[in-house]
Amino acid sequence: MSEAPIFEARDLSRHFDVSRPALQRILAREGKRTLRAVDGVSFAIPRGTTMSLVGESGCGKSTVARLAVGLYEPSAGSALFEGQELAEARKSVAQRRRMQMIFQDPYASLNPRWRVANIIGEPIRAFGIANGGGALREKVGALLKQVGLSPADGNRFPHEFSGGQRQRISIARALSSNPDFLVCDEPTSALDVSVQAQILNLMKALQRDLGLTYLFISHNLAVVRQVSDRVGVMYLGRIVESAPAETLFTAPRHPYTRALMEAIPDLEMAGRDRQPVGGEVPSPINPPSGCTFNPRCPLANGRCRAERPALIPARGTPQTLVACHAVEEGRDGFEARTAA
Amino acid sequence: MAALLEVRDLVVEFPTRRGTLRALDRVSFEIAPGEVLGVVGESGAGKSMTGAAIIGLLEPPGRIAGGSIFLRGQRIDNLPPREMRKIRGKRIGAIFQDPLTTLNPLYTVGHQLTETMRTHLDIDAAEARRRAIGWLEMVGIPAASERIDAYPHQFSGGMRQRVVIALALCAEPEMVVADEPTTALDVSIQAQVIALLKRLTREKGTSVMLITHDMGVIAETADRVAVMYAGRVAEIGPVRSVVKAAAHPYSAGLMASIPPLSHKVDLLPQIDGAMPRLNAIPQGCAYNPRCPHVFDRCRVERPELLDATETKAACWLFDSQAPRERAHV
C-alpha cells in the first residue's frame, strides 16, 4: 500500500484490573488479577476501506473499537491515526472531528430529552463547522436527507422513531463533523433483518459517496462478508486470523474461524445436522497457555499447549495472516481440502 | 393426522387508556405430533405473544379475546389457572430466551429438576434425583452427579440453557414452546444447544413450537414455518418452500434481506419502511404500504390464508376466484 493507512494498531493491548478489594485480597491471600481484554493486536486500515473484527462475546472486539477512537487508552502498544499517536492526534480539534463512532443500541445512544436536530447539531456546533442558526439548520436538514429521513424530522424526539430510523439518526450525528474514519460497534445487531439490510445499504452508499473508512465490529459473519474489505477474527483478545474478506470466506485457515463458519445456521443447510465445535470460550482472566484455542481445537498438540503462535502469512494463502502452529506446520489438511 | 395442538382464530387484546390494541388478530395453525413448527417474524410481529397465549402466561392486561386453543382435542385456552398449571410443565414445556431469569437463583439446579418431576410425575425423591442426574447427563453437563448440587450462577450461559432444556423436558411433555432459545448465546454455543434440542425432541417424539427471528436456525431445525407480520400469520408451509420459494411478498422480502454467508452481494434487497405499530395497522392487508405488488383490493379487504403453490399465504395474489398477475418490480 503506497498511501499511509488512516488507522493502525501496533501490538495494541488493553488490560483491566479486576482484582477484588485490597482487604479481601489480603485475607484470601491472593494476588492482583488482570483481564487481558485486548492482548497484542496489530492491523492497519487503508483509506476508504472497511476492516471488520468478528468474534464471540468477550473476545475483545468492542474494546478495540473503543481504543480506536480514544475512549480507552492502550495499556501497551499503540494506536496510530494517520501515523500519529492517537492520544496526540486527539489533542487537536481538527483531528478529533475526523473520527466518530456509531454504537450498537440506538435506544441508549440518543439523549431522549433532546430533539433530533439538537442531537445531530451538537457536533457541528462543538467543532464550529457551521456558524449561525440558519447554516446549522441547513446542515442538519441535509444530513437527515442524506440518511433517508426528512428535514422536518429534526423537530421530533428519539422516542418517536423506530429502531432503524434511530440508527439513521446515529449515523447522521456521526457524519455531522465530516469525519473520515467511522468506528461502528455492532451497528445492526439490535435491528430486525429487513431493517438491517436498509442500514447496511446506507452505510455502503455513504462510504462510496464520502470516501469513509470503517472499522466495523460485529459477531455476525454474514453481515461482515457483505461489508468488509478485510476481516480480522478475534479470540480471547487476539487476532487469530486476518485476511481479505473473499479469501477468509472461501479459504478460512484457523481452526477457530472454520469452526465459527461451520456453526452458523444457514438457509442453504435446511434440515441438515452439523458438527458443532465443543467446549466454551475460556475465561480471559485465566486463559489457557500457548494458543488460547487449544482446549477446543481438534488439531492441538504439545506445541500448541506450550507456545503462543505468532500471526504470520499462511502456507498456501499468503495474503492470510494466521496464528496457528498447525497451519504453519502444514498439518491442517489445507492442501488436501483444496485439492478435493 | 390429528393435530397435537390446534390454534384457531386466536385473538389477543390489550386494553389501554387510548383504546384496545389487538396484538394477535385471528391466528390459526396446527402442530402435528413430533413436528417442529418454526414461528418467525420481526420484533413486535406477535410470535412470543402466540407462545405465551398457548402456555397460558399472557402478561395482564393482555387477554385472549377470541378464538380457541386445543391440545389433543381438549380446549385449554379457557381453563381456570389451577387446571392450566397441571398442563403447563406436564404436557407443554417452555424454554425462554434468557436462562438466568428462567432458573430460580436461590435453588440448586437439582432441586428445581426434582421439584418439577415430583409435581408432575408420580415418583419418590430418590427416583427424582436419579432421573435429574440422568437428564443433566443427557443435556451434556459434565460431571452431572456433582453439578446437580450447584446453583444456576455457577454455570455458564450455554450450560444454563442446557439445564433449562432439561427442566422443560423432564416431565416428558407432549410439546415444548421454545421462545428464542438461543438468541442470548454465542454462535458456537448456539449450534450446540440447537443440536441438543433437535436430538432430544426427536428421540422423545416431542412437538416443538420454535419461536425465533433467526431464519438460519429455523431452516435447519423446523419442519414447517409460520411467518408472522403485525399480529397475523402471513404465510405457513413446509420449511424448504418458505425459505426457497416464499409466496407471500413479505416472506419473500424477509428471506431476501438476510445477508448471505455464501457470497457477497452489492446491494442487499431491503424492505422499505417498518412494521406498523399496533395502534396504526392499515386497513386491508397489514403489509400493503410496504408491498411491491400492492393493488386496490389489498388496501380495502383483508386476505385470509389462501392456497399458494406449496404453502398457504394471506395474500390476494393467490385468490383463485380473482387471479391477478404479480407485478414485476
Residues 6+ apart with CB under 8 A from A45: A5, A6, A7, A8, A51, A181, A213, A215, A230
Complete edge-to-edge strand list for the sheet that includes strand B19-31: B19-31, B5-16, B63-71, B74-75
Cα separations (Å) of B246 from A7, A65, A266, B235, B239?
44, 39, 17, 8, 10
Q: In Å, how far is A54's CA from the nearest CA of chain B?
A: 12
pLDDT digits (tens, 9 = 90+) for B239-280: 999 999 999 999 999 999 999 888 899 899 999 888 888 888
Question: Residue B265 is nearest to which of A195, A226, A261, comparing CB atoms?
Answer: A226
CB contact under 8 A, B259 and A196: yes
In a mutational test of the B interface, the residue from A52, A192, A236 whose CB has the highest number of chain B CBs within 10 Å is: A192
SS3 B175: strand
Question: Any chain A CB within 8 A of the CB of B115?
Answer: no
List of E strands, A18-164: 34-45, 50-54, 76-81, 84-85, 99-102
Q: Which of A56, A193, A247 to mutate to test the interface with B (most CBs of B within 10 A)?
A: A193
Contacts of A246 in chain B (CB under 8 A): 264
Q: pLDDT tens digits, chain B, 329 residues: what are they?
A: 589 999 999 999 999 888 899 999 999 999 999 999 999 998 889 999 999 999 999 988 999 999 999 999 999 999 999 999 999 989 999 998 887 788 999 999 999 999 999 999 999 999 999 999 999 998 888 889 999 999 999 988 888 999 999 999 999 999 999 999 988 788 878 888 888 888 888 999 999 999 998 888 898 899 999 999 999 999 999 999 999 999 999 999 999 999 988 889 989 999 988 888 888 899 999 999 999 999 999 999 999 999 998 999 999 999 988 766 665 54
Chain B residues within an 8 Å CB radius of A272? 220
CB contact under 8 A, A226 and B217: no
| B264 at A interface, C-beta within 8 A | yes
CB–CB contacts below 8 A, A to B: 135
Minimum distance, in Å, between the CA of residue A192 and any CA atom of chain B: 6
B142 lies within 8 A of chain A by CB: no
Q: Does B190 touch chain A (CB under 8 A)?
A: yes
Is this complex scored with an ipTM above 0.90?
no
Length, in residues, of chain A: 340
User: Among A221, A249, A267, which would you mutate to test the B interface (most chain B Cβ atoms within 10 Å of its Cβ)?
Assistant: A267
Closest CA to A38 of A181, A295, A235, A184: A235
Q: Is the minimum CB–CB distance between B245 and chain A shorter than 8 Å?
A: no
